[in-house]
């Protein structure tokens, strides 16, 4: 039986210190295609992002001195820099939501209390395991978004550019927390037990926070009884593209003893964005090329019709 090993195929983890205009004009009240329920589902996750990013980067930082693998140590440092920048940009995005009267700050404050409570009680290895689990969820959600950029056709271009920069970098570093955990904990049977416990813990803590945050934000936005929007969100989460369905499908493989996040190799799609960004330095253009590529993949031709391209 193979018990999880480090990735041997590191590509690159590049911190890109980008700044986006996360103003209330760009981050409108129902920024996800004008749909309240889907917007607040995303807001419920994003409420935990700035502090969650700081938690996962702190848990990696605490393990740095114990890492034996030079490649993992190098990637862990790059990962910490990436997450620090993500937290900064999402702080601004969340502040714009607050400016619209959406009390994400209250959700953030509750998450911070929960995070501090566990941070003081869990061992470094367990925190590292929980970080790997949260990063796995983030990677799955990012993967679905990368494959379905047309979901954001009606979203503000600056906000869309910020989100896709984040989805790309989350994918770039999707194996890092996992490898930090394996390297620091030593893997083996103890590592497997800790790793799966961390996933159970992250699920039991994360799911109620997600449901609680969304319910609270919908209530404060007077949208709880918007059945039409609830049905629309249900379709997005469970049918097309099925973000939650695919998250569930990605949950169980994590319990395989030989699992590694890069078993699902989706470098191709992020390389489209990365190469475009290297060439142009423009996150909007990088998004457009990723959008083109994704749609072309879906229809099986490089001649896809792209409303964004036509209107550009």
The residues of the shown chain that bind Fe ion, judged by CB under 5 A, are 83, 86, 170
Buried b / exposed e across 179-217, counting CB within 10 Å, b at 16+? bbbbbbbebeeebbebbbebbebbeebbeebbeebbebb
Q: Closest CB to Fe ion among 129 and 229?
A: 129
Q: Closest CB to Fe ion among 32 and 165?
A: 165
Q: Closest CB to Fe ion among 47 and 295?
A: 47
Q: Closest CB to Fe ion among 115 and 220?
A: 115
How far apart are CB 236 and Fe ion at their closest, in Å? 22
How far apart are CB 177 and Fe ion at their closest, in Å? 7
Q: Closest CB to Fe ion among 184 and 218?
A: 184
Q: Closest CB to Fe ion among 139 and 218?
A: 139
The dihedral sign for the CA sequence 274, 278, 284, 290: negative
Which residue is listed with tokens 């489209």?
272
Q: Which residues contact 61 (CB under 8 A, 6 or more apart)?
A: 80
Instruction: Determine if residue 222 is left, alpha or beta; phi over 0 gives left, psi from -120 to 50 gives alpha, anything else beta.
Output: left
How far apart are CB 186 and Fe ion at their closest, in Å? 23
How far apart are CB 275 and Fe ion at their closest, in Å? 21
Closest among 277, 71, 73, 97 to 169, alpha carbons compared: 277
H or E element at residue 135: helix 124-147
Q: How far is CA 88 from the centre of its chain?
A: 15
How far apart are CB 187 and Fe ion at their closest, in Å? 21
What's the number of CA atoms in the CB half-sphere (13 Å) around residue 34? 3
How far apart are CB 170 and Fe ion at their closest, in Å? 5
Minimal CB distance to Fe ion: which residue? 86
């Amino acid at each position: 039986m193979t018990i999880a090993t480090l990735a041997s195929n590191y590509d690159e983890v590049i911190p890109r210190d980008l700044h986006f205009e996360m103003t209330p004009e760009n981050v409108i009240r129902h920024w996800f295609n004008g749909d309240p329920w889907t917007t607040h589902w995303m807001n419920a996750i994003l409420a935990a992002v700035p502090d969650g990013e700081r938690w996962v980067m702190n848990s990696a930082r605490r393990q740095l001195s114990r890492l034996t693998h030079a490649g993992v140590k190098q990637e862990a440092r790059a990962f910490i820099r990436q997450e620090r920048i993500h937290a900064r940009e999402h702080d601004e995005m969340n502040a714009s939501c607050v400016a619209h009267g959406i009390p994400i700050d209250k959700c953030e404050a509750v998450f911070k209390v929960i995070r501090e409570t566990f941070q003081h009680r869990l061992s470094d290895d367990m925190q590292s395991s929980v970080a790997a689990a949260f990063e796995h969820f983030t990677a799955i959600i990012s993967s679905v978004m990368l494959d379905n950029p047309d979901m954001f056709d009606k979203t503000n271009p600056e906000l869309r550019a910020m989100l896709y920069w984040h989805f790309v970098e989350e994918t770039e570093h999707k194996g890092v927390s996992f490898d930090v955990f394996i390297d620091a904990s030593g893997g083996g049977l103890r590592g497997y037990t800790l790793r799966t416990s961390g996933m159970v813990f992250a699920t039991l803590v994360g799911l109620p926070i997600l449901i609680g945050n969304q319910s609270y934000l919908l209530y404060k936005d007077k949208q709880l009884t918007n059945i039409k929007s609830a049905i629309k969100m249900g379709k997005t989460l469970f049918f097309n593209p099925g973000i939650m369905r695919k998250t569930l499908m990605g949950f169980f493989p994590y319990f395989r003893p030989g699992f590694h996040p890069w078993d699902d190799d989706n470098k191709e799609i992020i390389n489209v964005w990365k190469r475009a960004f290297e060439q142009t330095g423009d996150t909007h253009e990088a998004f457009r090329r990723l959008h083109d590529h994704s749609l072309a993949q879906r229809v099986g031709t490089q001649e896809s019709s792209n409303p964004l391209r036509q209107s550009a």
